[in-house]
Amino acid sequence: MSKLFQPTQAGDIALKNHIVMAPLTRNRSPGAVPNDQNVEYYRQRATAGLIITEATAITHQGQGYADVPGLYSKEALDGWKRVTDAVHAEGGKIVVQMWHVGRISHNTLQPADGKPVSSTNRVAKAKTYLVNADGTGSFADTSEPRALETAEIPGIIEDYRKAARAAINAGFDGVEIHGANGYLLDQFMRDGVNDRTDEYGGSIENRARFTLQVVEAVTKEIGARRTAIRISPVTPSGESYDSNPQALFAYVVENLAKYDLAYIHVVEGQTGGERDYRQGDNPSFDYKALRAAYEKAGGKAAWMVNNGYNKDMAVETVENGTADLVAFGKPFISNPDLVERLEKNLPLNTPDQSTFYGGGAKGYLDYPLLEKVA
C-alpha cells in the first residue's frame, strides 16, 4: 500500500492517512450558524485523514461573504459541536480554519454596516458573495476599507485567541490560522497591499509581525501541536502582491520554526490555477527552498501541500518526502468517498461548479457514493 494511504501524525493529531480535505467555502450556513446540511456534508467526508473546515470567521468583523459560518456566537459553536461529533463518530479528524477577511468584504456584512478593516485604506479589486433580497446569491465588488489603527491590532490578536479556545471547546482537533489568499494577515504581510508606516509596515520583519503575534497567542492558548497555519506565497487572490515573496515567506517560516506546530499548509502557485504562477518580475517560487529554510531553523511540523494535485502527484510527493500531507479541494466537493476512489483507482465524479456557492442539498449532499454507483 502506498504511504499516502497509511496512518501519520500532525502534531497531536493522529491521522488515518496523508490525504487532507482542503478548506472549501460553500456559503451554506445562514446566520453564520452551521446547520443539519453542514453536519451531513462533513460527516460524509470523514474518511479523509484530516478535514479542514471552510474558512470560518473569528468575529462578525471578520466576515466577508454571505452565509459562511462563524466562531463567535453560542449558536454557531453549538452547530460546530454537532459537526465535530459527527466527524468523530465516523473516525475522522477535523480542524477549523480561523478567518478574518480584512478588506475582502462588503459593508453590508460588517457590524453596523461599517467599513471592513485592513492594513490599508485602498480598495481591493476583488469580489465578494452576497445574498440578494429575493434569496438568490451574486458576486459584488468589495467595499472601501479603513486601515486599522495600531492600537486596534492587539484586540484582533485577542479575537484569534478567543476563537481558538472556542474551537477546541466545540470539539475541534485543532485550528488552522488562515494567513493566505489575500485575507487580513496576508494583507499585512505583502508589500503590495501593506502601505503602513508604523511597526506593522515597511520591513519584512514589521509586515510579518501581526501574523507571528497571532501564532504566539493561539499556541499559548491551545498548544502549538494543535495549531497550524496556511500560507500562499504567490497566489494573487484578493489583489495580493509582494515584491520579494521568497525572502518574505522564508522569514515567516523561519520564525514559525520555534513553535512545535501541527502542520504548515502551503498553497503552491495560484490558488485553483497555475502551479508555477509568478507575479511581475518575480522568479518562480522555490518551495523546496522554503521548506529547507523552515527545517534549517529547527521546524518539525508536518508539511502540507495544496493546489492541483492528483493521485500520482500525491503518491510521489509523500513517498519521496517532499511533503507529509496533500490537500485536495474540488475533488472532495464531488467525491465524499475520495480516499477510497483514489486508493482503488476508481473514476471520480465531476463537480458541478454552478452549485459551489450557496443553495441547498443539490451539489452539496447528493454526489453519488461508490455503493450507489456499483
Three-class DSSP category at 32? helix
Q: State the cell numbers at 156.
A: 484582533
pTM of the model: 0.97
Give mean pLDDT, residues 337-347. 97
CA angle 102, 248, 298 (to 5 degrees): 110
pLDDT tens, 66-104?
999 999 999 999 999 999 999 999 999 999 999 999 999
Q: State the cell numbers at 199.
A: 511597526
Position 372 scores a pLDDT of 60
pLDDT tens, 156-178?
999 999 999 999 999 999 999 99
- For the question of residue 183 being annotated catalytic, the response is yes
Give mean pLDDT, residues 291-320. 98
Other residues' Cβ atoms within 10 Å of the Cβ of residue 125: 9
Position 271 scores a pLDDT of 87
Question: What percent of the chain clears pLDDT 70, i.e. is strictly above it?
Answer: 99
Domain 3-373 has CATH 3.20.20.70: yes
Which residue is catalytic, options 129, 160, 183, 277?
A: 183
* Residue 11: closest CA among 166, 173, 230, 214: 173
Q: Where exactly are the structural domains of the chain?
A: 3-373
